């Protein structure tokens, strides 16, 4: 699937981001990053730049390190900026993700390509995140129980909770910015777009959606492909202005807000209650019957809520979660031939051959291989 790094003909290209100067003069000073310093510390100190509301990138980076690839959902989740998130892989395909990051003044552009997953988390207080999706029309992304089309945008304001289900590989772009900047840029937007703690799905005019996706695409392309431009301060000014203008143009009275049916809102509350219950018990597997008893609902109601909010059954989600917990256990223990069997049984997998098959389908390796590399 093509990502935001390849905008269509209607989108904004790197050459269009500024005036007559070359695209290589349209970026900030990220080429001066020290290869020996963690990227969290190198992105201009995002904690200070954006009021301490950012969650930084981990690991070593260089001027070419603005792009990182992940095989572990936990590592990918911890690298995302603008909030705290938890990823659970789904479907019979190993988890994989690529993340491109560029800081532009007080804004951070992120573009990612990910395999199928469930995500839960929230936007940091004092922040706002504007997200754009690209995906096949047959399998739209589902966010907070609402299917999001590729021509729509999602605006999540500080404190907003996010529960998403993306059944197929997905490309997305996001722009994280301080809340005061959003309030300034959204001066002409409907008042409900500026409510703290809210998430809105925005229907944008096709041309406006293409331009917004294009400027995010151009930023991620330049971050990955034009590192020489990162040495020019003039570049950051041009790109920052282009981003501000496109965000302001998108958040006007032309942006329609998609309403969410009451039934979906109720289902989402139930799924979040289930997630809270599981989050408080990360050390052990949870089963459908236990969830129903804890939440005081029938199996049918729980099943319907998960399908409405996530597009999958509680059983399928809980199985993926148990496999992820098993992987964490294997990665955190020493090498022992009996450990794989012990971990499998501890997490409710009684048939070891089926456990190994499902584990390999989700993570691309056998449990024994995970244990050997721990």
Q: Which residues pair with 202 in a beta bridge?
A: 153, 257
Q: Coil, strand, or helix at residue 207? A: helix
The closest of 71, 133, 91 to 358, measured between CA atoms, is 91
**pLDDT of res. 193:** 63
The closest of 168, 153, 55, 189 to 115, measured between CA atoms, is 168
Q: What value does the mean pLDDT take over residues 293-316?
A: 90
Query: In the block, which residue shows the tokens 């223990």?
Result: 333
Question: What average pLDDT does the structure give for the chain?
Answer: 75
pLDDT digits over 23-42, tens only?
332 222 332 233 223 333 33
Is the pLDDT higher at 47 or at 293?
293
Please give the domain boundaries of the chain with CATH numbers for all domains: 14-257 (2.60.120.10), 262-373 (1.10.10.60)
Report residue 197 as tokens: 């703690």
C-beta of residue 115 within 8 angstroms of C-beta of residue 94: yes
Residues whose CB falls within 8 Å of the CB of residue 181, separated by 6 or more in sequence, listed in order? 106, 107, 128, 244
How far is the C-alpha of 169 from the C-alpha of 139, rounded, in Å? 9
Q: What value does the mean pLDDT take over residues 253-282?
A: 82
pLDDT at 66 over 80: no
In the sheet that holds 170-178, the strands lie side by side as: 67-70, 97-104, 107-114, 170-178, 127-134, 152-157, 199-203, 256-257
Average the pLDDT over each of 110-114, 238-242, 288-292 and give the range with the smallest value: 238-242
Q: With left for phi above 0 and alpha for psi between -120 and 50, is residue 95 left, alpha or beta? A: beta
pLDDT at 251 over 70: yes
**pLDDT of res. 238:** 75
Q: Residue 46: which pLDDT band, with cuts at 50, 70 and 90?
A: very low
Out of 61-75, 139-153, 182-196, 319-333, give the one with best mean pLDDT. 319-333
Query: In the block, which residue shows the tokens 């500026």?
Result: 194
DSSP symbol at 258: P
Out of 91-95, 195-199, 213-217, give the one with best mean pLDDT. 213-217
Query: In the block, which residue shows the tokens 């269509």?
Result: 8
The vertex-318 CA angle with 280 and 323, nearest 5°, equals 95
C-beta of residue 127 within 8 angstroms of C-beta of residue 178: yes
Query: In the block, which residue shows the tokens 């996706």?
Result: 213
pLDDT at 326 over 80: yes
DSSP string, 262-324: HHHHHHHHHHHHHHHHHHTTTTS---HHHHHHHHT--HHHHHHHHHHHHSS-HHHHHHHHHHH
pLDDT digits over 111-129, tens only?
999 998 889 899 999 999 9
Q: What value does the mean pLDDT take over residues 351-365?
A: 90
Q: Residue 200: which pLDDT band, with cuts at 50, 70 and 90?
A: confident
Q: Coil, strand, or helix at residue 202? A: strand
How far is the C-alpha of 243 from the C-alpha of 270, rounded, in Å? 37
**pLDDT of res. 231:** 57
Query: Residue 11 — φ and ψ, nearest 5°?
Result: -85, 170
**pLDDT of res. 15:** 38
Average the pLDDT over each of 68-72, 176-180, 213-217, 221-225 and give the range with the smallest value: 221-225
Report residue 284 as tokens: 């052990």
Query: In the block, which residue shows the tokens 């997305």?
Result: 172
Average the pLDDT over each of 15-29, 238-252, 347-361 and give the range with the smallest value: 15-29
């Amino acid at each position: 699937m093509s990502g935001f790094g390849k905008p269509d003909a209607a989108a904004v290209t790197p050459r269009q981001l500024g005036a007559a100067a070359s695209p290589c003069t349209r970026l900030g000073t990220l080429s001066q990053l020290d290869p020996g310093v963690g990227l969290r510390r190198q992105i201009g100190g995002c904690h200070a730049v954006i009021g301490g509301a950012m969650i930084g990138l981990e690991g070593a980076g260089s001027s070419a390190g603005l792009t990182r690839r992940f095989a572990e959902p936990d590592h990918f989740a911890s690298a995302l900026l603008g909030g705290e998130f938890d990823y659970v892989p789904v479907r019979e395909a190993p988890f994989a993700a690529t993340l491109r990051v560029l800081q532009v003044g007080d804004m951070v552009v992120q573009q990612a390509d990910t395999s199928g997953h469930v995500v839960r988390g929230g936007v940091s207080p004092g922040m706002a995140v504007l997200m754009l999706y690209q995906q096949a029309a047959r399998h739209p992304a589902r966010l907070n129980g609402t299917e999001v089309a590729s021509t729509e945008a999602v605006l999540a304001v500080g404190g907003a909770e996010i529960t998403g289900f993306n059944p197929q590989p997905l490309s997305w772009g996001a722009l994280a910015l301080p809340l005061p900047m959003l309030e300034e840029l959204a001066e002409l937007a409907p008042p409900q777009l500026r409510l703290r703690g809210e998430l809105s799905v925005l229907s944008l005019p096709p041309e406006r959606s293409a331009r917004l996706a294009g400027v995010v695409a151009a930023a991620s392309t330049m971050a990955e492909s034009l590192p020489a431009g990162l040495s020019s301060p003039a570049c950051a000014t041009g790109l920052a202005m282009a981003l501000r203008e496109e965000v302001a143009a998108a958040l006007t009275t032309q942006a329609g807000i998609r309403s969410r049916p009451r039934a979906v809102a109720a289902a989402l509350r139930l799924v979040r209650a289930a997630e809270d219950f599981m989050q408080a018990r990360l050390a052990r597997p949870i089963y459908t019957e236990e969830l129903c008893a804890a939440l005081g609902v029938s199996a049918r109601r729980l099943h319907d809520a998960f399908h409405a909010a996530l597009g999958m059954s509680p059983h399928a989600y809980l199985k993926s979660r148990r496999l992820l917990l098993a992987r964490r256990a294997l990665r955190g223990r020493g090498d022992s031939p009996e450990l794989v069997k012990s971990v499998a049984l501890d997490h409710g997998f009684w048939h070891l051959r089926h456990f190994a098959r499902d584990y390999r389908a989700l993570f691309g390796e056998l449990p024994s291989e995970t244990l050997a590399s721990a």
